[in-house]
Amino acid sequence: MYSEQSEHQGSHSHNAPHFSLFSADQINLTTIFVRVSGAPFQLATDHIRLFPDVTVTAIDPAYDGYLIITEPQRWDENYEISILNCEPRLLNQDEWLNTLYSDKPLGCHLSEVQTSFGVFAPRVSLVRLVLFDSPESENYSEFDMIRDENGVWELTFPQNLSGKAYGYRIIGKPHRSEWFNPDIIIADPYGKASTSMNTYHHSSRTLILENEFNWMGDTWVNHSQQELVIYEAHLRDMTAHSSSGCSAPGTYLGFVEENQRGGLPHLRKMGVNAVEFLPLMEFGNIELPYHKQADNGLMNTWNPYSRNHWGYMTSGFFAPENYYASEGNLNPGQRIGTSGKQVTELKQMIKTLHDNNIAVIMDVVYNHVSQYDNNALKLIDKKYYFRLDEFFNPLSESGCGNDFKTERPMARRLILDSIRHWMKEYHIDGFRFDLAQLIDKETCSQILHEARKINPNVFLVAEPWGGGYDPNGFADIGWASWNDQIRNGLKGYHPHDENKGFIFGRFFNHQDYFSLVRFIRGSLRQDGGPFHKTSQNVNYIESHDDHTLGDFIRLASGKIKPGQKIDDLEAHATLNEFELMLHKLAATLLFAAQGNVLIAQGQEYGRSKVVAPTSVPDTHVGEIDHNTYEKDNDTNYINYDLMALNEELVDYYRELIALKKNFRVFTHCSTKDINFFPSLNTLALFFELEGYSFDEPNFFVAVNGNQRHPTECHLPDGLWEVVLTNGEKRDVVQGKISIHQSEALILMKID
């Protein structure tokens, strides 16, 4: 290639000035736009070479470059262009790829008399449909599909193929680090259910299923979007420990089983009105073998468990996770999900939660996929679907590899179709978007627009970071966000002295008394916060990420040293008087602040994540762990025997939840309805919440974050009943009241 190019350049060297080729963009399959620099020069068609060879038919000068017209280029080629003495440059295909769009049905669609298939794969040479006799069978037939003018490959059979399984064989031309492996049969990226192998490849087939579930009139649970009390839960963790008493631990149906201590009965006991599940979409459960090089060249040096327990490695954007079905397991090399029960059992779980007036929010991961599995989108076209550097390597602003290129038209459509699917087919009430800052804002805006067409009350909440931090931007387009500002203000960012927060008697990172005022008023934009209205605010102090609040307090108070081995788990788990005060102080402010509330599983009893002994050679067994994404064991499972040791804190959370749900002053107060009372103690906060209506009482909240000195405050006129306190028991008070160190009180006006 390059020797021919040199000869071609040499024939023009006597009259061609030296200039640079800045950029070369493929506009469509017959048009290229180039930008050059150097002395003005009239290009001719014979000055230009495309590799592989395509004839140039015309050149038109443009404002800042040239339009080069060619004979039709191939869909499946990566062309390089050379102009005179310039170095060859690979054509940038973004412009062309961004013009491709289709509204045609994708995935598999059944009727009584036919089955049709569609997959978007514009840059491949051929797609073959691989049709298996059954989900378990190794017998299959292959059929060539036909590509339309927008890159959709289609095939229709004149019969109903329900009960079979299928996949795609992708044939293409490799270029640089791009590759297409026709030996791998991939699942349909629009597949609504799959069967997968328990290996890190997660080799999957797509099931062809009839939709036979009877919802019996079920629809969405439309709680007010500023009255949500959300319980963040990992589905398996809530029932997998033997103390739960669940007969089907770790499953969809087990979660809603009656006569147990975990799952739905525990949510009812706490009184929450929404549950936010960590990912339920099909994900890569298994990572690379530890300290062994995989066939993709990677070596796992970080995860001795070789598991992904939390689920933030999506494999299928439309399919429910197989592991949580009644037949699910992770037995090495076994195929799971062949029955399709994962579909009906997830729907049954959601319906049962709805029957108990509990909304279901699903944590979704659209910003990246797994690095290790045979993910369909990676194997169809990584240039189209993923953000790449100049060397075709995937970008990793997510920290997880393979950042999804959400701004591509058909990638955006996939996300929108996925949201619609989960709302219509599974009656999902809302979504929490992992690392949402990695999803382009136009896609986010369209998500809200399309979701509200289905359910105007749909709840969308962003984790407002990932390659940036922008809770304000999400509020501007109508989304809610996790409020990490109140988390850091109350707890701190790290259990070191300089990073502790208010409950430890200090302010975090230049925050002050007025930060507390802003938090209580809902972190609104008018006060310097990110939100336009309190319904956009999800206050929290603990989530699945990082240390639990319980462990943060244990470390920050010096009860436990970093790296210390825990010998007596019960003694370690039991909260002492000081810990209990700090937990209640934090919880009081969290629930007294305007906005929605999220608590993490186990937060209500001061849970500790202590690395549990297993067969895995983990040198940190017995230590506190802050990042337990890989541990499908007692480290993460909720231990209800340990919960019983701290029943006093559990009851305190139950009472706070009841106040939040039963009195609208804790959810609907405007800034003029919240009256702050002065104090000489900058670590004390006193405020009155005026009754939302004539038949609702006023409440008064008094907290003292100072760990050394008591304080006092004057109450508004009238008699006040102490309804909650983390300190000295008091009944009815009036006039002036003393507030002890680290004390919190909630009082209700009774006269």
What is the residue type of 443? T
Beta strand pairing call for 459-462 and 480-483: parallel
What is the residue type of 531? F
- Residue 680: its pLDDT value, please? 87
Average pLDDT over residues 389-407: 89
Residue 7 CB neighbour total at 10 angstroms: 8
pLDDT above 70: residue 394:
yes
pTM of the predicted model as reported, rounded to 2 decimal places = 0.95
Domain-embedded: residue 127: no
647 in the same domain as 696: no
428 in the same domain as 576: yes
Kindly write down the DSSP assignment for every residue of 328-367, as one continuous string: ----TT-EE-TT-HHHHHHHHHHHHHHHTT-EEEEEE--S
* Cα gap 318→107, rounded to integer Å: 10
* Cα gap 543→535, rounded to integer Å: 19
581 in the same domain as 686: no
pLDDT above 60: residue 4:
no
Per-residue pLDDT tens for 712-742? 999 999 999 999 999 989 999 999 999 999 9
Band of pLDDT at residue 86, cut at 50, 70 and 90: confident
- Residue 7: its pLDDT value, please? 35
Kindly write down the DSSP assignment for every residue of 133-171, as one continuous string: SSTT---EEEEE-EE-TTSEEEEEESS--TT-EEEEEEE
- Nearest of 492, 525, 517 to residue 674 by alpha carbon: 517
Residue of higher predicted confidence among 580 and 498:
580
Average pLDDT over residues 189-215: 96
The CATH number covering residue 530 comes to: 3.20.20.80
Average pLDDT over residues 1-19: 42
Q: Where are the beta strands (DSSP E) in 491-649?
A: 537-540, 596-600
Per-residue pLDDT tens for 169-185? 999 987 766 778 899 99
Percent of the chain with pLDDT over 70: 97
608 in the same domain as 702: no
Q: Are 192 and 318 in contact (CB under 8 A)?
A: yes
- Residue 12: its pLDDT value, please? 41
Domain-embedded: residue 384: no
737 in the same domain as 626: no
What is the residue type of 656? L
- Residue 429 neighbours by CB under 8 Å, 6+ apart: 220, 221, 222, 274, 359, 360, 361, 455, 458, 459
586 in the same domain as 465: yes
Band of pLDDT at residue 625, cut at 50, 70 and 90: very high
Domain-embedded: residue 49: yes
Instruction: Please identify, among 72, 97, 122, the residue that sits at the C-terminal boundary of a domain.
Output: 97
Domain-embedded: residue 66: yes
559 in the same domain as 422: yes
725 in the same domain as 604: no
Instruction: Please identify, among 40, 72, 97, the residue that sits at the C-terminal boundary of a domain.
Output: 97
Report phi then psi at 420, rounded to 5: -60, -40
Instruction: Please identify, among 606, 636, 662, the residue that sits at the C-terminal boundary of a domain.
Output: 662
* Cα gap 583→585, rounded to integer Å: 5
Domain-embedded: residue 71: yes
Q: Are 689 and 669 in contact (CB under 8 A)?
A: yes
Domain-embedded: residue 483: yes
709 in the same domain as 634: no
The CATH number covering residue 711 comes to: 2.60.40.1180
Total domain count for the chain?
A: 3
Report in angstroms the alpha-carbon separations of 249 from 43, 358, 426.
72, 21, 22
> Positive or negative CA dihedral for 529, 537, 702, 232?
negative
88 in the same domain as 32: yes
Residue 498 three-state SS: helix
693 in the same domain as 658: no
Q: Are 384 and 411 in contact (CB under 8 A)?
A: yes
The CATH number covering residue 42 comes to: 2.60.40.1130
344 in the same domain as 236: yes
Average pLDDT over residues 467-471: 95
Band of pLDDT at residue 85, cut at 50, 70 and 90: confident
Question: Left, alpha or beta for 319 (phi > 0: left; psi -120 to 50: alpha)?
Answer: beta
Torsion of CA 547, 548, 550, 556, to 10 degrees: 20
Q: Are 174 and 130 in contact (CB under 8 A)?
A: no
Band of pLDDT at residue 509, cut at 50, 70 and 90: confident
Domain-embedded: residue 11: yes
**Domain span at 683:** 670-749
